[in-house]
Amino acid sequence: MKLFNVIIFLLIKISIANAQEEENALRYILIKDNTSLFVNNEKRNRYTIEFQSDTLVDIGQNSYFYNDREIEINSVKFNNGKITNVMGSPESEISAMKWHQRVEKKFQEKKFKAKVKVKEELYYNTNHKPFLIWYYEPNKIKSSAKLLEVEYGKSQTSELEEESYEDDSTLAKSDEISHHLFLEFVVHGNTCVYISTYLLENDDLAKEIANLKKIANSLVVFGGDIDLDILNLRSKNNGKFIYQDSLENISLEIPGNINVLKNPFNRKDALILSFPEKNNIVNTASIIWIEKAKAGNFEQFINKGQKVKRKLSNLKELPKEGNLARYSIINKGSFYTKQDIYIEGEKNYYYINFTATLNTYDFNIGRFQELLSKLKLK
């Protein structure tokens, strides 16, 4: 199926439940030319990945028809006992993926009644984020129920035994499958996402691993609720997008590596953005504007922008741009660094905020400054 210059926006709304909460899971597929963009806008996921195929069809229960076979895209929430979970720690991020690998491996050993030997590769994508690629060969597994009895015991039960297990594939017989492959990664410090697929006897293992690496390199993690309308528009224009509010108070050419989040309460006077992820931490920026008549004088507007009332002695004047007066305040805390920029225009006041952790501020401050250079205000 070839679709050129056409985007199909397919909304799939699924109800899911887990031990802690029940929420509506929103998954979308954007198809353009020969690629399919998978969008997961669930609260604990909020990411996109790209598949090099114009065929990615939901067939239910987290399974999709892709390249003439079935794949699974799923996620599991974890808790390592720390408030931040694995945020800020690549080592803990890798440990979380290894944990899920062990869970899946034990699950398969229960099914095969034999030890499962896996081969793995720790892969870092172009953004230096770790991914775990691993696989096993079901045809080489020798059944040994006795071995499992020694390890688990006949009378013991586990979480794995309580879960239901679907057959390997509705599209291929188990004896035709040569490899089961997994691609794993962590988002937001508390969720392990995994993609599972399989190969048949005549398939090329190296080619499929290379394909999984392409998927890894396409990962984009959002810092909040994804603005699906804008994502759709950007997809149509190869990522290019110029934001402009209805009254033309603000115009902003948004770089391809900066994402637009859904505006809370559908405010028409605010723009929320998120920056590339580093170590499961996503920095954000916001731009808010208000008519001068509603905000008092400029000093009152600045004071309202500070959650804790501060003296304006640390207010730094920035170079004036046209008729715009610009000031900046940088507040450094124990965990976060925040830069607030206040701009006085002809009719409006503008408040621009960039917030980052101490370890990610330098990583994204250059992108924030690039963003400011593209901003046009009245």
Q: Vertex 359, ends 355 and 363: CA angle to 5°?
A: 75
pLDDT tens-digit series, residues 23-70: 435 899 999 888 999 999 999 999 999 999 988 999 999 999 998 899
What 77-84 contacts at long range (C-beta under 8 Å, 24+ apart), as own/partner pairs, is 77/18, 77/20, 77/44, 77/190, 77/191, 77/192, 78/190, 78/191, 78/192, 79/190, 84/189
Q: Answer whether residue 272 shows pLDDT above 60.
A: yes
Q: Count Cβ atoms below 10 Å from residue 359 Cβ, excluding itself.
A: 14
7-221 sits in which CATH class?
Answer: alpha beta
pLDDT of residue 197: 97
Which comes out higher in pLDDT, residue 329 or 122?
A: 122
In the structure encoding, which two tokens stand for residue 162, read together? 């309580």
Q: Which of 129-133, 143-147, 215-219, 236-240 has the lowest mean pLDDT?
A: 143-147
pLDDT the model gives residue 21 = 34
- What is the sign, positive or negative, of the torsion defined by CA atoms of 221, 227, 232, 236? negative
Q: Quick count: other Cβ atoms within 10 Å of Cβ 122?
A: 12
CA-CA distance, 357 to 362, in Å (whole number)? Answer: 9
For 184-237, the pLDDT digits (tens) are 999 999 999 999 999 998 999 999 999 999 999 999 999 999 999 999 999 888
pLDDT at 266 (0 to 100)? 80
How far is 104 from 114, CA to CA, in rounded Å? 14
Residue 344: name the closest of 361, 363, 327, 359 by CA.
327
Domain 7-221 shares a fold with domain 228-377 = yes
Q: What average pLDDT is seen over the chain?
A: 81
Task: Express each pLDDT in 312-367 by its tens digit.
Answer: 445 666 665 555 566 677 776 657 888 888 888 888 999 999 999 988 999 999 99
Q: What is the DSSP string of 72-124?
A: EEEEEE---SSTTTTTT-HHHHHHHHHHHHHHHHHHHHHHHTS----EEEEEE
φ, ψ of residue 213 to 5 degrees: the values are -70, -35
What distance in Å separates the CA atoms of residue 55 and residue 251, rounded to the nearest whole number? 36
Burial of residue 205 (number of CB atoms within 10 Å: 0-12, 13-18, 19+): middle
State residue 146's pLDDT score. 45
Q: How far is CA 86 from the centre of its chain?
A: 15
> How high is the pLDDT of residue 7?
26
Specify the pTM: 0.81
pLDDT higher than threshold 90 for residue 165: no
Position 112 scores a pLDDT of 86
Residue pair 182/135 in contact by the 8 Å Cβ criterion: yes
Give the per-residue pLDDT at 330.
Answer: 73
Mean pLDDT along residues 121-136: 97
The DSSP secondary-structure symbol of 281 reads B
Eight-state DSSP code of residue 295: T
Single-letter code of the amino acid located at 211: N
Share of the chain above pLDDT 70, in %: 77
Helix 145-152, helix 90-112: angle, nearest 10: 130
Instruction: Reply yes or no on whether the pLDDT at 311 is more than 60.
Output: no
Q: Which of 11-15, 224-228, 276-280, 349-353 has the lowest mean pLDDT?
A: 11-15
Count Cα atoms within 13 angstroms, Cβ side, for 173.
2
- Output DSSP code: residue 161: H
| Confidence class for position 16, pLDDT limits 50, 70, 90 | very low
Q: What is the topology classification, in CATH, of domain 228-377?
A: Protein Transport Mog1p; Chain A (3.40.1000)
Any alpha helices (H) in the chain, and if so which ranges?
A: 90-112, 145-152, 159-162, 205-217, 228-236, 298-305, 361-373
Task: Reply yes or no on whether the pLDDT at 20 is more than 80.
Answer: no
Q: What is the C-alpha to C-alpha distance for residues 300 and 38, in angstroms, rounded to an integer? A: 45
Question: What local confidence, expressed as pLDDT, does residue 140 receive?
Answer: 81
Q: Where are the domains of the chain?
A: 7-221, 228-377
CA 188/CA 186 separation, integer angstroms: 7
For the cut 70, the answer to whether the pLDDT of residue 135 exceeds it is yes
pLDDT of 169 higher than 50: no
